[in-house]
Amino acid sequence: MNDAMFTLRAARESDRALIDAYAYSEGMDHLPSLERVTVAANGQDEPVGFIRIALNSQGVAHINPVVVYREWRGYGVGRALVEDAEAHYGELRLVSRGSSKPFYDALGYEECGWDMIEPGVSDDCDGCELRAECGPCPMRKPAAAKERS
Domain-located, residue 13: yes
8 Å CB contact between 39 and 9: yes
Give the number of domains in the chain: 1
Task: State the Cα angle at 106 between 124 and 89, rounded to 5°.
Answer: 65
Q: ∠62-65-67 over CA atoms, to 5°?
A: 145
pTM: 0.87
* CATH number, domain containing residue 23: 3.40.630.30
Q: How far is 40 from 78, CA to CA, in rounded Å?
A: 9
Which sign does the torsion angle of CA 51, 91, 89, 53 carry?
positive
pLDDT tens sequence across 135-148: 788 999 987 644 44
Considering the domain boundaries, does residue 110 fall inside one? yes
Residue 129 is predicted with a pLDDT of 72
pLDDT tens track for 87-101: 999 999 999 987 889
The answer to whether the beta carbons of residues 128 and 134 sit under 8 Å apart is yes
Q: How confident is the model over 58-68, as pLDDT tens digits?
A: 889 999 899 99
AA letter at 149:
S
Q: Parallel, antiparallel, or unpaired: how do β-strands 137-141 and 110-111 relate?
A: antiparallel
Range of the domain at 78: 7-141
